[in-house]
Amino acid sequence: MMQSKTKLVFIILALPVIILYACKKYKDPPNAEPDPRLAERGFYCNDPRAINYNWNFPAISDSSICIYPVDSFVGTWTFHDTIYLQSGDTESVQIKQLIFTATEDTLKAHLAVNGWCGGNVPFYVTASKYNRADVDTIPGGTFGQFLCGVQTDTLNGFINKNTGDRNTMKIDFTINSPEGIKYHRGTAVRM
């Protein structure tokens, strides 16, 4: 009986010593050096609005290398426009100089297009990060927007950038006017 009391006392006295010895205060590890492999990989864009968001990740974040939707469209383009009637017959072929300029917006996706209308009247498109720009819709829900300031003519359609060639894009517009519907389709080449 005495032995079991001695064992119990020994366990009771040893337990706090073991706990205090086993539990020591946590210390933060020293600051690690940056992984040199990240520098070898270069930089990446960390802005989700950009076309090249997270390309080349993991690497070092650098927003100055971001490419936004407007960046691939901005500039002067020569548009080889084939005009089709609603019947599918070709009405004419013409060449237009279109100038795409970015509008001031935080999304970096809105563009004004000049050169279609006389008198420097622009129409507006919204670019996505998937190499497509759609003609903006006017307030009120009318599909498309008024063309050249004329309330009876509406423009709608889209532009697709060629992913293999940054200097060309396909344009597909529909103009609805009192004279009828005409389709403007063709390729634009960056000047």
Per-residue pLDDT reduced to its tens digit, 142-152 = 677 888 878 88
Spatial CB neighbours of 188, under 8 Å, sequence gap ≥ 6:
77, 78, 79, 80, 98, 159, 168, 169, 170, 171
Pairing of strands 150-161, 145-147: antiparallel
Helix (H) or strand (E) run with residue 161 in it: strand 150-161
pLDDT score of 141: 61
Per-residue pLDDT reduced to its tens digit, 51-97 = 888 888 888 888 888 988 898 899 999 999 999 999 999 999 999 99
Amino acid, single-letter form, for residue 21:
Y
Q: Positive or negative, the Cα torsion across 63, 43, 111, 133?
A: negative
Q: What is the CATH number of domain 69-190?
A: 2.40.128.20
Amino acid, single-letter form, for residue 179:
E
In the chain, where the domains are located: 33-67, 69-190
